[in-house]
Structures are given as structure tokens and as C-alpha cells.
Structure 1
Amino acid sequence: MSASRNLAGQVVVVTGAARGVGALLARKLSARGATLALVGLEPDELRGVAAALHGPAHHWHADVTDHEAMARVAGEVKDRFGKVDVVVANAGVATGGPFADSDPVAWKRVIEVNLIGGAVTGRAFLPLLTASRGYFLQIASLAAITPAPMMTAYCASKSGVEAFAHSLRAEVGHRGVRVGVGYLSWTDTDMVRGADQDDIMRELRARLPWPSNKTYPLGPAVDRIVAGIERRSAHVYGQWWLRGMQSVRGYLPGLIGTVGRREIRRFGDRLDGMRIGLVGAGGEADEKARADR
């Protein structure tokens, strides 16, 4: 385990900072003396988060999938704050439902934001992290560890960002840059509450085995992420039990394939024609931003 670092004076970039994990993470890092660069698609929300922080902060309106926009943001963060010590690639969206009936635009957008957006963020800020011998934390999910029916896009994207971060760690470690992966189970955010608005998704999640069927409070999960940033950890677990999932993950695809088939059969005709767009307030913001272009 790495020694904890004092965050005072550290410049931290957080994507998806307008709400949920990103917003609370910004507040907790600021309370520890960090300077915050907030990135997202909701300028009014970002402005409110920045205004409520304890120390220096600024916000940038940008789509994490847009390399030119993110490269511009990286340059402006450098101009304003002089350096970047930590980047948290947190921006994410989700959709659900049967793949065969899924909205192809929403499905693709989940891959774009969660996977490509993480890579674009890393590409834009890697030169600054190399200069500071900094830390890149990619937020993944329990969905990276275990597959789940009705979540094909989200599981594919989170498995992808986990693999991306692990590969990147091996490439940049000799330059002094550390790379971490953050794992969260169902945590009380707009995204999870949005998914629960669908009866089938809510019922299916309730039938998951304990402890994966619970919704966990946001505060303790973000506290664990802050501790991981302070230690520049290779793996950060938002809930205590997720660490143990690593040792059994090789058995999970077969188990989920068997149990999932039985559970999906229970819903029968209720699944016919089921189509869900991007869920939660963050999903709505993403759809609106793209419609306004």
C-alpha cells in the first residue's frame, strides 16, 4: 500500500463533476486543500459546485468524447493553475434493457462516454501528469468485474475502461505516473435512481444476490475514493466487499449465464419492445447537449 499524500496544493481534474460522485468528490477533495478543475456538460450545475468549494476551483464545459475540446481544457487548466497532479475520469452514462430491442444511439453513446471518454481524458492530460509524476484514476464499476443481463452497453464500457487503465499503467509507470481503477457497486446517484424508475430493471436488481442487490450511500463510497487518491492506489473500492469479488471473477460469467437465463425468463412478454434511453439527470443532460449542437 502506498503512503498517503497531502492533497493541499494538488490540482485535481474531475470529469462528470456536475452531480453525483463527481460533485461530492470535488467537495471532499477541496476540503482537504486541493484545487479543483471541474469538467462536464452542465455549466450551471458545474458553476454551483465550484462556488460551494472551500478553495480555488474553476469549471469547464466540455464533452469528454471530444478530443479537441478536452485538449483545449487541458491547456486552459495548465494556464490557470500551472500544473495537474491528479485526473479522475468519472464521467459516465448508462442505459438498460434487452440488447435486441435497445436504442442503438443510446447504446453507442454509453460506449462513447464511458470508454472513449475515459481514453480521451487520459490522452489530453497525460503530458501534464507526466510532468508532475501524477495520478490518473479511471472510475469503473462492479460491472467491470461481473457481467449482467440487460446491461450490455454499461458492462462492455466498464470492462473496457478497466482494461484500458490496466494497460496504461504498464505503459506510463516508468515515467512516474500512477494509474488506478475505481470500482463502485450500486451507489445512490441520479444514474441509479434513474435506472430504478423502470419496473423491470428495479425488480431484476432486487433479485441479485446480497450484497450486490443493495443501493449504497454516496458519502462512504466517495470517502473511499478520496483515500485511494491520497494513496494513489492501483485499485480503489467504493464498497468494502468489492475487493473480494476480484478473487472469484473468473467464475462469474458462467454463473451469471445460468442464473441470468432463469431470471430473464421470468419476465416473459414484459420484455418485448422494451427500450430505455440514457437514464437519470446526467443522461438527460447528455442527450440535451447533443441535441443542441
Structure 2
Amino acid sequence: MSENTGNQGRVAVITGASSGIGAATARALAADGYRVALLARRADRIDALAAEIGGGAIAIPADVTDRDALVAAAARVREELGGADVLVNNAGVMLLGPFSSDRRDDYRAMVEVNLLGAITTTEVFLDQLKDGGGDLINISSVAGRTARASNGVYAATKWGVNGWSESLRQELLPDVRVTLIEPGVVDTDLPSHITDEATRAAVQKGYDVATVQPEEIAEVVAFVLARPRHLAINEILLRPADQLG
């Protein structure tokens, strides 16, 4: 993607930036002229990515379930980069498996990261996004539209993100554009985090058959942000062409 000098000086904050869609989005937006702030728990990965990207990129170790860490991150973004113009809520976990009491820690983790993490990060950065008109990109999932056996709590978090995003879209007009992106199967390391072995093996089989690349999702994010301010792309659902559901 060629560099878009019209974005010089604009700042994008990306959560879950250490791998997958987050890392690909950071590279794509940096190529389009954004200065990027990389937020993730894995400091070594975002340090390496910031060094690779250059151009004023900064790495900020932060867990989206820790509001104090997010407040500190927002202060760094304000001080070092001048404030956020774009927030990409990408951090997420996909801990699928049969519903049972044995997996209650997984359920709590998904709610705290996928839903509350996005809500808290947005709350902390919202004042910066409102300064001069910003963009909020929420990375959801096709699971925010279709629930299946063994993905109930994951789907609940994504349905929650979808509903919250539509409410914010209406509430924040015209100061902040809100876009919801719902990918299908993307080639990331999410399946490796699944704690239920049978579910992990079954999900991996699906990933082996049909995936899109994180860079393709990143291109969609960059396209949305490149639209003129009078045009808001509010929702995008995308899947591998051969993904059935």
C-alpha cells in the first residue's frame, strides 16, 4: 500500500497489536502515513514491531482489562504523539468449548477482554477521539451475528460489541465515525488459545480449510479510514469466499 501523505501527523491506537489483525493493521496504517501506538500485553513483540515500523511508532505494554494501564497509555499517546485520531479495538480471545462450570474462567476472560476491554479502552480514549473528529473501529466477528454450539459466550461478547457499536454510532455523531468490522475465519493464533482440546482440534480443521489473511482485514480498515469525513462506513461483514457460516 502506498503511503498517503494526507495522513501525516494522524495517530492510530491499536489494541492487540502484537500479532494477527492488530499487527497487520499497524503496518498498513503506518504505510498510509499514520503514527501508530501499539498496545498489547506482549511487550517484546510490540517493541520489535515499533522498531520495524519506525516513523514515530511507540509500543505501550497494556492489558485492556486494566483501566489504570489504559489511562497511563492514553497519557503517553497524548504526550508523545499529540492524541489519538483513530482507535482500533482489536484485542480479543476466543476460548471456545462446551458450556460447563469447568470453563468459567474462560467465560470471564472473554467478557473482560472482548467486551469490557473494548468498552473501557474507548471510554479512556474518547476525549482524544473527539478532538477534531476521530474514528473508532471495533473488530467483532461473524460470531456477532450467528451463534453455534460451543461458542455461546464468545458469541455473546461479539453480539454485545455489535449492539454497543450501533449505540455509539448514533450517540457520537458527527464527532466520531464508528465502524464495526465482522471477520469470518482469519489466519491468526486465536485457535491456539482454546483450552478444550477437542474443540481446539475441530476449530483448527476449519482454519486449515478456509481463512483470509490478517493483511486483508488491515486493508479493509485502511480503506474505511481513507473515506472522506462526510462518508461513514458503519458495518462490514467479510468471510473467506468458501466459508459457509
TM-score class, shorter: 0.7 to 0.9
Deviation, 1:220, is: 1.8
Deviation, 1:186, is: 0.9
Deviation, 1:197, is: 9.1
Query: Hey, what's the Cα distance between the residues in 2 that align with 1:238 and 1:132?
Result: 30
Identical counterparts, % of pairs:
30
Q: Which residue does the alignment assign to 2:124?
A: 124
SS of the counterpart of 1:103? helix
2:184 is aligned with 1:188: no
Deviation, 1:224, is: 1.6
Q: Which residue does the alignment assign to 2:134?
A: 134
Q: Which residue does the alignment assign to 1:169?
A: 169
Query: Hey, what's the Cα distance between the residues in 1 that align with 2:191 and 2:104?
Result: 21
The one of 216, 224, 236 equivalent to 1:220 is: 216
Deviation, 1:10, is: 1.2
Q: TM-score, normalised by structure 1?
A: 0.73
Query: Hey, what's the Cα distance between the residues in 2 that align with 1:197 and 1:66?
Result: 26
Deviation, 1:82, is: 1.0
Deviation, 1:5, is: 9.9
Structure 2 alignment gaps of length 5 or more:
none
Structure with greater helix percent: 1
Q: Match of 2:44, as an amino acid?
A: D
SS of the counterpart of 1:169? helix
Summarize deviations over 1:3-34 as a string: whole Å, max 9, x none. Answer: x9943321000000011110111011111111
Contact 2:191–2:204 (CA under 8 A) maintained in structure 1: no
Q: Which residue does the alignment assign to 1:23?
A: 23
Q: Which residue does the alignment assign to 1:153?
A: 153
Q: Match of 1:186, as an amino acid?
A: V
Q: Match of 2:179, as an amino acid?
A: G
Summarize deviations over 1:46-79 as a string: whole Å, max 9, x none. Answer: 1011111042110111111222221221121011
Contact 1:84–1:128 (CA under 8 A) maintained in structure 2: yes
Counterparts in 2 of 1:40 and 1:171: CA distance versus 1, 3 Å? same
Query: Hey, what's the Cα distance between the residues in 1 that align with 2:210 and 2:95?
Result: 19
Q: Which residue does the alignment assign to 1:143?
A: 143
Q: Which residue does the alignment assign to 2:99?
A: 99
Let me know the Cα RMSD of the aligned residues: 2.7
Contact 1:31–1:54 (CA under 8 A) maintained in structure 2: no
Q: Match of 1:131, as an amino acid?
A: D
Query: Hey, what's the Cα distance between the residues in 2 that align with 1:236 and 1:228?
Result: 10
Q: Which residue does the alignment assign to 2:226?
A: 230
SS of the counterpart of 1:52? helix
Q: Match of 1:187, as an amino acid?
A: V
Contact 2:134–2:177 (CA under 8 A) maintained in structure 1: yes
SS of the counterpart of 1:138? strand
Matched length: 236
- In our comparison, the structure showing a higher alpha carbon Rg is 1
Contact 2:96–2:196 (CA under 8 A) maintained in structure 1: no
SS of the counterpart of 1:233? coil
Q: Match of 2:170, as an amino acid?
A: A
Q: Which residue does the alignment assign to 1:281?
A: none
2:70 is aligned with 1:74: no
Q: TM-score, normalised by structure 2?
A: 0.87
Deviates more, 1:65-74 or 1:181-190: 65-74
Query: Hey, what's the Cα distance between the residues in 2 that align with 1:79 and 1:11?
Result: 12
Counterparts in 2 of 1:204 and 1:85: CA distance versus 1, 3 Å? closer
Contact 2:87–2:137 (CA under 8 A) maintained in structure 1: yes
Q: Match of 2:119, as an amino acid?
A: A
Deviation, 1:216, is: 2.1
Deviation, 1:166, is: 0.9
